[in-house]
Amino acid sequence: MGVRQKLTGRGGACHALIRSLEIRFAATMRRQTELDWNCVRPRFEEHPKKLQTLFPMEQTGGEPDGIERDKKTGALIFCDCSPDTPRVCPREKLEGEVRNWGL
């Protein structure tokens, strides 16, 4: 079963992922001082396909979390904040990939 089927199927994976993101968001408020969950959640509900990017990260032990808002576009920027995530990706490359995600 593909990511899209898991997220749109009857299993509630979409709801479970949003709930996991909400719990992590609340627990790590120091990372997103300019973001408010009441603004983040509706964006996921309006753009559920965006969850397809975060779902595999969550399923493989990653910890996707909102870290900031793009100052030019207003897009929310998420990254894997797991302590086990390698920190070898140059920030410019990461920013380009995340901003292209465009939530």
DSSP character string of 9-49: STT-HHHHHHHHHHHHHHHTGGG-TT--HHHHHHHHHH-GG
pLDDT at 73: 87
User: Over the stretch 59-78, which tens digit does the pLDDT of each residue have?
Assistant: 888 899 888 888 898 888 88
Confidence of residue 2 (pLDDT cuts 50, 70, 90): low
Q: Are 82 and 61 in contact (CB under 8 A)?
A: yes
pLDDT at 11: 45
pLDDT at 23: 94
pLDDT at 50: 84
